[in-house]
C-alpha cells in the first residue's frame, strides 16, 4: 500500500509563499514525477511528504491515515537524496543496515535483506567498502539499497541522478524504472529534467511557482498540454510558440507547433525563413530558422541526412492538425 493524499497543503518560508494551497492524490503503485524549473517548490513538496518540512497549513494522509504530524521515520517512506547522504565512516553493509538497526530488527533478518538488496543492485562485491571508495553510480545504488531494505510503502527520490554523468544517468534511469516494475511500490521522483520525467513516469506533475500546472501521463502532456508553460516545458527541443497575426489566423492568441511536426522544403511552403545554426545529431538535424517574421527563431527537426547551409532560404510546412492553440490567458483552446 502506498496512497498519498495532499489536502490544501501550503508552505511559507517567512513572508515567501512557496506553495499556495495544493491538492494532489498519488495512487498506490504509481510512479509519479514532480517536474518543473528550479525553485518551483518540487523539492519542498517532496520534503513535506517525507516529513522533513512542516506544513504551514493543510494535511497529508498516507494510506488514508492522517500523517500531518507523524515524524518522518514513522511514515513508512524511504528517501534517496541528491547527494546520496551516505554515512561516510560506515561500510556499505553498515550503511544499508542502518535503518534496520535503528528499528531493532533481528540480525538474521537484517542480513537476509542486505544480501537480497546487494544482489539486486550489484553491490555484493562492495559490501565491505566505504562509500568514499565507490563511484558515483555505486553510491547511488547504496543509497537506493538503504531505502529498499526498509520495505517502505513509498520511495521518495530527490533529484537522484543529477550528480551522475550523462551515460550513467541513462543507465540508472532504466534501473530505477525496472525496479519500479518489479516492486510495484509507489514512487515519487523529483527532477528538473523533462527527459527523466517523460521516460520514467506513469504520471507527471508539472509545477511552476508551487502551482500544479498539469497532471497527466507523459503522452497526455505531450499531445495536449493544458497551457503554454506545459507546452514549452515538455518536449525537446522546445515547442515553437508563435503570437500575433499568424496566431490570429487560427483563432488563437498563441499557436504552438513542435519542431518534429514541421516539414521543410527548399522551394515552397507556408512560412519562409533563413537557415541559422543547424545541429546534426546523426539521426536528426535541428535547424534554427530565422527571419520568418513569426518569432525570433523557429526550430525544426528533420531527417539527419538533409543538407542545408547557414544562410540558405528555407520554407516550412507545419502539420496543421498538430497545431496547439492557446488563448490570451495562456490556456489551451480545443
Partner 1 sequence: MATQHSRSAARIMMAPAVVLLLGWMLVPLIMTLMFSFKRYLPLRGGDLGWTGFDNYIRFVSSSAFWPAVSTTLIIVGAVLIITIVLGVLLALLLDQPMWGQGVVRILVIAPFFVMPTVSSLVWKNMFMDPTNGLFAHLWRFFGADPVAWLSEASVPSIIMIVSWQWLPFATLILLTAVQSLDSEQLEAAEMDGAPALSKFGYLILPHLSRAITIVVLIQTIFLLSIFAEIFVTTGGAFGSRTLTYLIFQRVLESQNVGLGSAGGVYAIILANIVAIFLMRIVGKNLDA
Do residues 114 and 146 make contact, with C-beta atoms less than 8 angstroms apart? no
Listed in sequence order, the DSSP H helices in the chain are 42-50, 92-102, 107-120, 136-148, 166-183, 194-200, 218-223, 228-233, 245-249
Which residues, other chains included, contact 206 with Cβ-Cβ below 8 Å and sequence gap of 6+? 35, 36, 212, 213, 214, 215, 221, 229, 230, 233, 234
Indicate the angle between helix axes 92-102 and 107-120, nearest 10 degrees: 130
Contact call for residue 78 and partner 1 (CB under 8 A) = yes
The only residue of 45, 67, 79, 154 in contact with partner 1, by rule CB under 8 A: 79
Which range, of 37-45, 96-104, 237-245, 306-314, touches partner 1 by CB under 8 A?
Answer: 96-104
**Cβ closest to partner 1, residue 78 vs residue 117:** 78
Q: Tell me which of 29, 61, 98, 291 binds partner 1, using CB under 8 A.
A: 98
Q: Does 81 bind partner 1 (CB under 8 A)?
A: yes
**What angle do the packed helices 136-148 and 92-102 form, to 10 degrees?**
20
Q: Is 190 in the site for partner 1 (CB under 8 A)?
A: no
Determine, following the binding rule CB under 8 A, whether residue 320 of this chain makes contact with partner 1. no
Indicate whether 82 belongs to the interface with partner 1 (CB under 8 A).
yes
- Indicate whether 136 belongs to the interface with partner 1 (CB under 8 A): no
For the chain, the farthest-separated pair of C-alpha atoms sits apart, in whole angstroms, at 76
Q: Tell whether residue 93 is a contact of partner 1 (CB under 8 A).
A: no
Query: Min. distance of Cβ 98 from partner 1 in angstroms?
Result: 5
Reading the block at residue 315, the C-alpha cell is 520554407
User: Does 219 participate in binding partner 1 (rule CB under 8 A)?
Assistant: no
Residue numbers at the binding site for partner 1 (CB under 8 A):
50-52, 71-74, 77-79, 81-83, 85-90, 98-99, 102-103, 146, 150
Amino acid at each position: 500500500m502506498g496512497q498519498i493524499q495532499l489536502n490544501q497543503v501550503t508552505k511559507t518560508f517567512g513572508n515567501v509563499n512557496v506553495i499556495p494551497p495544493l491538492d494532489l492524490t498519488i495512487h498506490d503503485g504509481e510512479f509519479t514525477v514532480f517536474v518543473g524549473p528550479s525553485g518551483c517548490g518540487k523539492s519542498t513538496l517532496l520534503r513535506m511528504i517525507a516529513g522533513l518540512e512542516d506544513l504551514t497549513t493543510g494535511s497529508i494522509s498516507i494510506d488514508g491515515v492522517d500523517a500531518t504530524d507523524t515524524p518522518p521515520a514513522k511514515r513508512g517512506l524511504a528517501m534517496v537524496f541528491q547527494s546520496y547522504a551516505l554515512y561516510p565512516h560506515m561500510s556499505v553493509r553498515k550503511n544499508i543496515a542502518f535503518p534496520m538497526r535503528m528499528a531493532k530488527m533481528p540480525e538474521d533478518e537484517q542480513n537476509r535483506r542486505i544480501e537480497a538488496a546487494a544482489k539486486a543492485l550489484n553491490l555484493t562485491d562492495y559490501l565491505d567498502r566505504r562509500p568514499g571508495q565507490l563511484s558515483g553510480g555505486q553510491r547511488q545504488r547504496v543509497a537506493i539499497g538503504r531505502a529498499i531494505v526498509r520495505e517502505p510503502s513509498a520511495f521518495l527520490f530527490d533529484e537522484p541522478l543529477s550528480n551522475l554523468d550523462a551515460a550513467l544517468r541513462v543507465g540508472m534511469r532504466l534501473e530505477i524504472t525496472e525496479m519500479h516494475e518489479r516492486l510495484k511500490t509507489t514512487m515519487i521522483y523529483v527532477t528538473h529534467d523533462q527527459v527523466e520525467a517523460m521516460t520514467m513516469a506513469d504520471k507527471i506533475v508539472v509545477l511552476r511557482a508551487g502551482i500544479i500546472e498539469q497532471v497527466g501521463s507523459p503522452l497526455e502532456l505531450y499531445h495536449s498540454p493544458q497551457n503554454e508553460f506545459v507546452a514549452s516545458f515538455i518536449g525537446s527541443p522546445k515547442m515553437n510558440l508563435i503570437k500575433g497575426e499568424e496566431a490570429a489566423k487560427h483563432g488563437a492568441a498563441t499557436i504552438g507547433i513542435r519542431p518534429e511536426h514541421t516539414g521543410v522544403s527548399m522551394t515552397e511552403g507556408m512560412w519562409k525563413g533563413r537557415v541559422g545554426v543547424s545541429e546534426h545529431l546523426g539521426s536528426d538535424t535541428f535547424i534554427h530558422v530565422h527571419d520568418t517574421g513569426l518569432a525570433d527563431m523557429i526550430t525544426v527537426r528533420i531527417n539527419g541526412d538533409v543538407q542545408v547551409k547557414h544562410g540558405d532560404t528555407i520554407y516550412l510546412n507545419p502539420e496543421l492538425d498538430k497545431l496547439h492553440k492557446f488563448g490570451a490567458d495562456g490556456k489551451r483552446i480545443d
